[in-house]
């Protein structure tokens, strides 16, 4: 067996391909990789905690899960605070962004936005969850405290983005704008190894992923597209297969590998959609596009949306390019 390339080696190798790179982004990815392993260890124990929790009340399981949201949040923030590359972090779990102002952060150029634990309601039933991260260069002067405008940049300004899926195996998938690569954690040695080089999403797929329980709340174009997915038509491989885990990272990861579309539209229950532009939609959109896919709010390219607030929500259509285009056509037709 050939010795696998480790994530650490891969980061160093890629860094040397960019002669002017200072290594700061590499160091930042190293901090994220370390935090991912710590969170992975804790998530693996959640099953044990649930077994113990069966003696107690439902409340304890609820609290446990809340603790894992906070644990993941704190772990990633501490890993980034410990090094000098990041000057500020925004997180789904924090009302406002954090500014790092210690001596070691004086030269820091990067801000990070993250969803520390995605799909956290799935933890207590042992279903895959994830972490999503998004990295930008700050726009305000280095050496001054970060400002809101450093975080409210459109997704097309991301310098890197990625996710970790804590699944039947744990994977870290990321891009720095030169394709997408996936690494699987070998738990016996605690090392991420390159398992999915140069990931590409199929142009078309057979999977559609949407919470159909909300069907009655959706608007006409989305309802018609869902019906289209269910219609019989051999020439286009329909009906498609419906798959919905309820963890965006896991649903997206499956569709990235197999081809498919993930939809979280607006509806009377979620007038602006549910998913957050900065923590969830932009990073996965960058990965989708780097893998040959598409991400849209139904009308506009996700990566071109100018964010107006940290916790902004948007409707979301992401996956195989032809499927996203077809969904967009249904939405346009109803406008
Ligand atoms: P989070 O756990 O980070 O709050 O994200 C939950 C999100 C996403 O992971 C998932 O796809 C979606 O919520 C599921 O929502 P519904 O239960 O409304 O389908
Ligand atoms: Mn989430
Ligand atoms: Mn979350
Ligand atoms: Mn949440």
Token readout for 267 is: 């509806």
Rounded distance between C-alpha atoms, residue 179 and residue 18, angstroms: 15
> Looking at residue 59, what is its pLDDT?
26
Co-location of 189 and 47 in the same domain: yes
Rounded mean pLDDT of 293-314?
97
Regarding the beta carbon of 255 and ligand 1, being less than 6 Å apart is answered no
Rounded distance between C-alpha atoms, residue 40 and residue 44, angstroms: 6
Token readout for 148 is: 């809101």
The annotation places the binding site for Mg(2+) at 92, 115, 117-118, 280
Regarding the beta carbon of 244 and ligand 1, being less than 6 Å apart is answered no
Co-location of 87 and 183 in the same domain: yes
Pocket residue to mutate for ligand 1, from 65, 120, 246, most atoms within 8 A of Cβ = 246
207-209 and 129-137 strand pairing: unpaired
Q: Which residue, of 143, 162, 196, is where some domain finishes?
A: 196
User: Which among 226, 221, 230, 201 has a CA at the least distance from the CA of 211?
Assistant: 226
Angle at 280 between CA 200 and CA 87, to 5 degrees: 105
Q: Range with the lowest mean pLDDT among 14-23, 281-290, 300-309?
A: 14-23
The residue segments making up the domain with residue 174 are 7-196
> What percent of the chain shows pLDDT beyond 90?
79
Pocket residue to mutate for ligand 1, from 76, 115, 118, most atoms within 8 A of Cβ = 118
Rounded distance between C-alpha atoms, residue 314 and residue 135, angstroms: 19
Q: Please enumerate in sequence order all residues whose Cβ is within 8 A of that of 270, keeping only pairs 6 or more positions apart, or say none.
A: 214, 217, 264, 313
Token readout for 212 is: 């159909």
Q: What is the pLDDT of residues 180-229, one digit of tens each?
A: 999 999 999 999 999 999 999 999 999 999 999 999 999 999 999 999 99
**Higher per-residue confidence, 53 vs 109:** 109
The annotation places the binding site at 92, 115, 117-121, 211, 244, 274, 280
User: Which among 286, 284, 281 has a CA at the least distance from the CA of 265?
Assistant: 281
Q: Please enumerate in sequence order all residues whose Cβ is within 8 A of that of 313, keeping only pairs 6 or more positions apart, or say none.
A: 270, 272, 273, 274, 275, 276, 277
Question: Residue 297 above 90 pLDDT?
Answer: yes
Co-location of 53 and 12 in the same domain: yes
Interval between CA 150 and ligand 4 midpoint (Å): 23
Rounded distance between C-alpha atoms, residue 237 and residue 246, angstroms: 25
Co-location of 136 and 87 in the same domain: yes
What is the average pLDDT score of the chain?
91
Dihedral sign computed on CA atoms, order 103, 109, 111, 117: negative
Asked if the structure places residue 33 within a domain, the reply is yes
Q: Which residue, of 196, 217, 244, is where some domain finishes?
A: 196
Q: How many domains does the structure of the chain reveal?
A: 2
Question: Residue 332 above 80 pLDDT?
Answer: yes
Co-location of 151 and 225 in the same domain: no
SS3 per residue for the chain: CCCCCEHHHHHHHHHHCCCCCCCHHHHHHHHHHHHHHHHHHHHHHHHHHHHHHCCCCHHHHHHHHHHHHHHHHHHHHHHHHCCCCEEEEEECCCCCCEECCCHHHCCCCEEEEEEEEECHHHHHHCCCEEEEEEEEECCCCCCCCCCHHHHCCCHHHEEEEEEEEECCCEEEEEECCCCEEEEEEECCCCEEEEEECCCCCCCCCCEEECCHHHHHHECHHHHHHHHHHHCCEHHHCECCEECCCCCHHHHHHHHHHHCEEEEECCECCCECECCEHHHHHHHHHHHHHHCCCEEECCCCEHHHCCCCCCCCECCEEEECHHHHHHHHHHHHHCC
Co-location of 124 and 180 in the same domain: yes
Co-location of 125 and 245 in the same domain: no
Co-location of 182 and 229 in the same domain: no
State the residue for tokens 């789904």. Answer: 92
**Higher per-residue confidence, 273 vs 50:** 273
Co-location of 170 and 224 in the same domain: no
110-118, strands of its sheet edge to edge: 98-99, 86-91, 110-118, 129-137, 158-166, 170-175, 180-186, 191-196
Asked if the structure places residue 188 within a domain, the reply is yes
Regarding the beta carbon of 211 and ligand 1, being less than 6 Å apart is answered yes
The CATH number of the domain holding residue 303 is 3.40.190.80
Rounded mean pLDDT of 104-131?
92
Rounded mean pLDDT of 133-140?
97
The CATH number of the domain holding residue 102 is 3.30.540.10
Asked if the structure places residue 1 within a domain, the reply is no
């Amino acid at each position: 067996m050939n010795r696998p390339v480790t994530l650490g080696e891969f980061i160093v190798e890629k860094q040397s391909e960019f002669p002017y790179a200072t290594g700061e982004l590499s160091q930042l990815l190293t901090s994220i990789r370390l935090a991912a392993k710590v969170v992975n260890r804790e998530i693996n124990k959640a099953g044990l905690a649930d077994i113990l929790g069966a003696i107690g009340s439902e409340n304890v399981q609820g609290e446990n899960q809340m603790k894992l949201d906070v644990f993941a949040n704190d772990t990633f923030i501490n890993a980034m605070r410990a090094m000098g590359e990041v000057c500020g972090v925004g997180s789904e779990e924090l009302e406002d962004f954090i500014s790092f102002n210690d001596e070691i952060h004086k030269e820091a150029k990067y801000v990070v936005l993250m969803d520390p634990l995605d799909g956290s309601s799935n933890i207590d039933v042992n279903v895959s969850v994830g972490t999503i991260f998004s990295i930008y260069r700050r726009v305000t002067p280095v050496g001054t405290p970060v400002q809101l405008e450093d975080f409210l940049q459109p997704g097309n300004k991301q310098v890197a983005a990625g996710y970790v899926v804590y699944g039947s195996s744990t994977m870290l998938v990321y891009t720095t704008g030169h394709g997408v690569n996936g690494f699987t954690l070998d738990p016996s040695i605690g090392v991420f190894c390159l398992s999915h080089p140069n990931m590409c999403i199929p142009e078309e797929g057979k999977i559609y992923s949407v919470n159909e329980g909300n069907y009655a709340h959706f608007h006409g174009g989305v309802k018609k597209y869902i019906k289209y997915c269910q219609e019989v038509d051999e020439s286009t491989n329909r009906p498609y297969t419906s798959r919905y885990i309820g963890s965006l990272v896991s649903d997206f990861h499956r569709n990235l590998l197999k081809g498919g579309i993930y939809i979280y539209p607006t509806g009377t229950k979620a007038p602006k959609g549910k998913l957050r532009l900065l923590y969830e939609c932009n990073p996965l959109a960058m990965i989708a596009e780097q893998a040959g896919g598409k991400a849209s709010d139904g009308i506009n390219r996700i990566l071109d949306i100018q964010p107006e607030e940290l916790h902004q929500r948007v409707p979301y259509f992401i996956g195989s390019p032809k499927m996203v285009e077809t969904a967009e056509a249904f939405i346009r037709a109803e406008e």
